[in-house]
Amino acid sequence: MHIMAGLGWITRGSIAQNTDWTKGGVGKYFGQGYEFGVHYGVAELNMEVEADVSWHQHRQDLAHDPGVGPTPLPAGISPNGGTWEFRLTIARNFGGALGKNLAGF
């Protein structure tokens, strides 16, 4: 079993933050991700099963020229987002089972 958490902050320089994003400016960024996984292995079969679920989210400020608001993004696009992910892995090492009595498996 494993549990993982990751957090990240990126702060650009003042020139990048004080330039509108349509002109190449970049705002502040914050991202976070969390993952939980379970691993199970069967020694007789050299088989492993792993299931993981994770969630990732990010937020970004739109850079803009001083004294004015940022240029709006096109409809349907957001500087913030998040996603869920599920992963199931089944693996077997056939080379490790050579010479073993696998009757009944």
Residue 81 in this model has a pLDDT that exceeds 90: yes
Tokens read off for 50: 């792993």
Over range 80-100, report the average pLDDT.
Answer: 81
Q: What is the pTM of this model?
A: 0.69
Give residue limits of the domains in the chain. 2-97
Rounded CA separation 63/17 (Å): 5
pLDDT band, very low/low/confident/very high, at 92 (cuts 50, 70, 90): confident
Of 51, 42, 56, 55, nearest to 1 (Cα)?
A: 51
Rounded CA separation 39/48 (Å): 7
Mean pLDDT of the chain: 87
Tens-place pLDDT, residues 48-80: 899 999 999 999 999 999 989 889 989 888 989
Tokens read off for 60: 């970004």
- SS3 for 13-60, per residue? CHHHHCCCHHHCCCCCEEEEEEEEEEEEEECCCCEEEEEEEEEEEEEE
